[in-house]
Amino acid sequence: MNMKRLLLCLFLPTALAAQPSVKGKADSILASHPAFSGVVLIARDGKPLFHQARGYRDFNRRDPIRKHDVFELASVSKQFTAAIVGMLQQEGRLRFDDPVSKYLDIPWKDITIRQLLNHTSGLPDYQALMDRYWDKTKVAGNADILQYLNRYRPPAHFSPGARFEYSNTGYVLLASIAESVSGMDFIELCRSRIFRPVGMRLTNVRSLAEKASLRRFARGHVYVVKEKRFVRADSFPSSDYTLWLGNRKGPGRVSARATDLLRWDQALYSDKYLTQATQAEAFRPAKLNDGTLSRYGFGWFLGRTARGEEVIWHDGDNPGYRTMFRRYPAGGHTIIVLCNNYYDGFERMVGALEAAL
Q: How confident is the model at residue 220 (pLDDT cuts 50, 70, 90)?
A: very high
The chain-wide mean pLDDT, for the chain, equals 93
The pLDDT assigned to 4 comes to: 45
- Phi and psi torsions of 316, nearest 5°: -145, 155
* Domain 23-78+86-93+183-356: CATH class, spelled out: alpha beta
Is pLDDT of 12 > 60? no
Burial 179-200, CB ≥16 within 10 A → b, else e: bebbeeebbebbbebbbeebeb
Work out the average pLDDT over 125-141: 96
**Of 77-81, 235-239, 252-256, 324-328, which gets the smallest average pLDDT?**
235-239
238 pLDDT band (50/70/90 cuts)?
A: confident
pLDDT digits (tens, 9 = 90+) for 54-94: 999 999 999 999 999 999 999 999 999 999 999 999 999 99
Convert the chain into a string of H (helix), E (strand) and C (coil).
Answer: CCHHHHHHHHHHHHHHHHCCCHHHHHHHHHHCCCCCCEEEEEEECCEEEEEEEECEEECCCCEECCCCCEEECHHHHHHHHHHHHHHHHHCCCCCCCCEHHHCCCCCCCCCEHHHHHCCCCCCCCHHHHHHHHCCCCCCCEHHHHHHHHHHHCCCCCCCCCCCCCCCHHHHHHHHHHHHHHHCCCHHHHHHHHHHHHHCCCCCEECCHHHHHHCCCECCCEEEECCCCEEEEHHHCHHHCHHHHCCECCCCCCEEECHHHHHHHHHHCCCCCCCCHHHHHHHCCCCECCCCCECCECCCCEEEECCCCCEEEEEEEEECCEEEEEEEECCCCEEEEEEECCCCCCHHHHHHHHHHHC
pTM: 0.92
Res. 6 pLDDT band, cuts 50 70 90: very low
Q: pLDDT band for position 14 (50/70/90)?
A: very low
Top-confidence residue, 16 or 304:
304
Condensed to tens digits (0 to 9), the pLDDT of residues 29-42 reads: 999 999 999 999 99
The pLDDT > 90 percentage for the chain reads: 89
Query: Is 75 a known active-site residue?
Result: yes
pLDDT, position 11: 43
For the chain, what are the domain ranges?
23-78+86-93+183-356
Select which of 37, 75, 182, 255 is catalytic.
75
Predicted confidence band of residue 335 (pLDDT cuts 50, 70, 90) = very high
In this prediction, residue 239 carries a pLDDT of 85
